[in-house]
Amino acid sequence: MDDRYEGQLTMRVLVTGGAGFIGSHYVRELVGGAYPAYGDAEVVVLDKLTYAGNEANLAPVADSPRLTFVRGDICDRELVADLMGRTDVVVHFAAESHVDRSISGSADFVLTNVLGTQTLLQAAHDAGVAKFVHVSTDEVYGSIEEGSWTEDHVLEPNSPYSASKASSDLLARAFHRTHGLPVCITRCSNNYGPYQFPEKVIPLFVTNLMDGKKVPLYGDGLNVRDWLHVDDHCRGIQLVLEGGRGGEIYNIGGGTELTNRELTERLLEATGRDWSYVEPVTDRKGHDRRYSVDITKISTELGYAPQVDFAAGLAATLEWYRDNRAWWEPLKQRAALAG
């Protein structure tokens, strides 16, 4: 590793995409004191506030003197360079992330996820940041019939979204190998929790069912996903930020695998609806059958273990959407989401 990255104090954190679902949860926890090692850190959020970014997600901590919000694009080299010059560590969430949107049009995904990440990495290298955590996804691995992916598994992305994320992962790896930039990559399973934009399956289904609308179930409903509460995910990211080894990849999983049909059954039961509210729809193009990550590495090296029981986490998530209609209803109306 380049000597100029050694021994720096972690005091100023740049969080890209910090007004999105996962990024804002991380910021609320960080500023709120959930991560004692960073209890005095100054936090700068850089977010373009596209359709899924919402400054209201930061309202609980907006008055903190430790938090600064900057509206801007991670592809803006001049802005990024300026911010990076006053940054010690980076946590990079910013991404276009919805598979369906990437299928209908992939250009924005390549621009943000690939070029945007390259812009950040170059600026981080130029500024000599002490740590760069690149937040990625298990979707870069493709689909797995049985067993679980370890971090050294070949990348076989099957959607434009996952291909763009795989590309950004490779750029992050290359900046470590070429320049010594202390980058860690995290790959998470499917997240759920409060403040998730209502195009994703859990908030879409929950809000539709609350309003007596049908929910769309792809294909035979037997695609399998591992569910990870956003709080567990962010704790894992913080562990990697504090103790992850530069150049390494860490899977972060939740340990609850469900078919989409099983998930739908749970949501129907929780909202008092029956299967008449489910509308089978044509399967997604290139729909991955199963995701499953092996979390042995992060557990062994950094002491990670998911703490949020899925049943309890799902119940709390549903309660949050029941109590926060004023947050999600305008978003659904504005985005004209399927109902």
Phi/psi at 128 (5° precision): 70, 45
Residue among 42, 47, 96, 138 flagged as catalytic: 138
Q: Up-side HSE of residue 258: CA atoms within 13 Å toward CB? A: 19
For this structure, is 323 an active site residue?
no
What would the two tokens of residue 51 be?
A: 């359709």
Residue among 38, 141, 161, 192 flagged as catalytic: 161
SS (H, E, C) 265-324: HHHHHHHCCCHHHEEEECCCCCCCCECCECCHHHHHHHCCCCCCCHHHHHHHHHHHHHHC
Q: What is the rounded distance in angstroms from the CA atom of residue 123 to the CA atom of residue 179? A: 12
Strand partners, 293: 149
Residue 54, classified by CB atoms within 10 Å of its CB into exposed (0-12), middle (13-18) or buried (19+), is: buried
- At 197 the three-state DSSP class reads coil
For this structure, is 161 an active site residue?
yes
For this structure, is 139 an active site residue?
yes
- Tell me how many degrees the CA angle 251-84-302 measures, rounded to the nearest 5: 25
Residue among 139, 199, 231, 232 flagged as catalytic: 139
Q: What is the DSSP string of 84-137?
A: HTT-SEEEE------HHHHHH--HHHIIIIIIIHHHHHHHHHHHT-SEEEEEEE
| Residue 120 neighbours by CB under 8 Å, 6+ apart | 16, 74, 80, 84, 90, 92, 132
- At 155 the three-state DSSP class reads coil
Residues that are catalytic: 138-139, 161
